[in-house]
Structure 1
Amino acid sequence: MTDTVDKMPTPALPPDQIKAIPVRHYGRWVAGAAVVAVLVLIGIAFSNAKINYSIIPDYLTDGTILSGVWHTLYISVLAMVLGLVLGVILAVMRMSSNPVTSTVAWLYIWFFRGTPVLVQLLLWYNISLVFPILNLGFYKDEMNQVMTPFLAALLGLGLNEAAYMSEIVRAGIQSVDIGQTEASHALGMTQGKTLRRVILPQAMRVIVPPTGNEFINMLKTSSLAYAVQFNELIKRATDISSTSLAVVEMYFVASIWYLILTSVFSVFQYYLERRYARGSTRNLPPTPFQRLKKNLRLFGSFSRPEVAR
């Protein structure tokens, strides 16, 4: 009887008597304090700099700056469309069983990915040194008249983007199971119809996220068109700074507009990715508005006083 009593388990303490001691993370506090100190020093440096911050809001809506914003958006969209179309063609050529087309596509990708965008822009802008006359048979003119800053920027940005988009499209196509192609051919579909109706729609789930990132990057890369005298945002800001001597202020204005453009298109990219992810997952990530609504609901439940029962 005594042994039985000794072997009985000790009753657990009630939850209100358990004292939980949190783990101390001193390294986090030190790292956080160091980051805050660096940010404070940077803020002090900018506040003491000879920068006229009061003129920045006025120049944000200046006609010259808005013209530069429009040209930046315009050239970015056209260059992205050109890169996407050529990228699909190059991806199909790269995966072709024809050794000539696959080799040509590989050489194109190798060259345009291996050389800087700025060099490509300058080469197109000075292409008249190689081809003084453009003769297409039905059209003939001096290359200096044909190769405008807009065309040089479009070709330099678009052809370079095509090399990257081809690899993105190729990765998306290869992510689709080969059984989809075999089943389509068994139904009598041609190779082109299989690509348009079966392969590409399924590959979009893989293609869309990096394509959105490439377009956001294109918005910033378009600033290199300043080197070929295209009137994009940086060129317009520089023109104003050369007369007003507000150099740093104009860089702040350009940076704010780039942040606005990239933020807006990041939201579009989020919803586009969410749309194409519907067929691959049952639990879609909440939208920013849904997340905000949930947080407000939780805050309301915490702030509501409890009712005594």
Structure 2
Amino acid sequence: MTHKIAILGASGYTGAELVRLIATHPSMEIVALSADRKAGMEMAAVFPHLRHLSLPTLCKIDEIDFADVDLCFCALPHATSQKVIKALPSDVKVVDLSADFRLRDPEEYAKWYGGQHDALEIQKEAVYGLTEFYRDEIKAARVVAGTGCNAATGQFALRPLIEAGVIDLDQIILDLKCAVSGAGRSLKENLLHAELSEGYHAYAVGGTHRHLGEFDQEFSKIAGREVKVQFTPHLVPANRGILATVYVQGDAAEIHATLVAAYGEEPFIEVLPFGEAPSTRHVRGSNFCHIGVSGDRIEGRAIVIAALDNLTKGSSGQALQNANLMLGEEETAGLMLAPCFP
């Protein structure tokens, strides 16, 4: 069976990444691609690296006949997605890559995203899209909310440790570096080459980053009590990748064993031998996440490091992984491509 796929917001980085991945999927066909300012253009003109593919011309969303669509990937900006998804036919499955359905509490959404939610009925049915931890719910879902790329990386490092009770929940420091594609494709002065290259900087310092809403929601749910991590993201002059360095209190060997046990059967999570540290260059362009654990010279402390590609495992690859489950396909379909190195 071939599933008919639409991608809304196909002219952005995550949209292009979805096209790249679906191009080799054994049972998906892209039947519609939408864009706003680039409507009417061919995908090859917007992304020349995709010129070898036969793809629909970019169009406006209201020009798409959703009667011919089985599943829609929504790669639109925050606040836009909820309005668009609200208007879609109720029989179309949706994987949303924005933040609009990640937070279950509408008040938390308003707090972190600065506006009231416009599709609360859909919010109630949306399933959080961290595949490895919501697999059964995703299989039965109509709407899946993709995670933030930073939030996914931190959760892969910490969720099993919080659930197993092997770390001090009040002493978690998450230091994260994210490549510039995580900021999207829109022109921004601070992302110009001359502004960004040859250095990196912290941003959203002091607990203002929106992905903290996801950390608060998910970690507190697991622990059964409030858990707040200390989190500082940094923007690095690289195109792809996230590296999260997490400082925790607990026995390093036990922490490593806990992660090995948690991810032993997971196709996309690789826990490295104790003492080895991952690198973004080893997961580039892939749906894999590498996790390493090391002890610290201070007794009773450990360092957990997670690396993934923000556009693939952190966003579009995760979205395709979820879509596979929603459509009854093999979870790994279209996603086992090896990382690109060097």
Instruction: Please tell me the TM-score bracket, short chain as reference.
Output: under 0.3
Greater share of strand: 2
**Larger relative contact order, structure 1 or 2 (CA cutoff 8 Å, min sep 6):** 1
- Comparing both structures, which one devotes a greater share of its residues to helix? 1
- TM-score normalized by the length of structure 2: 0.21
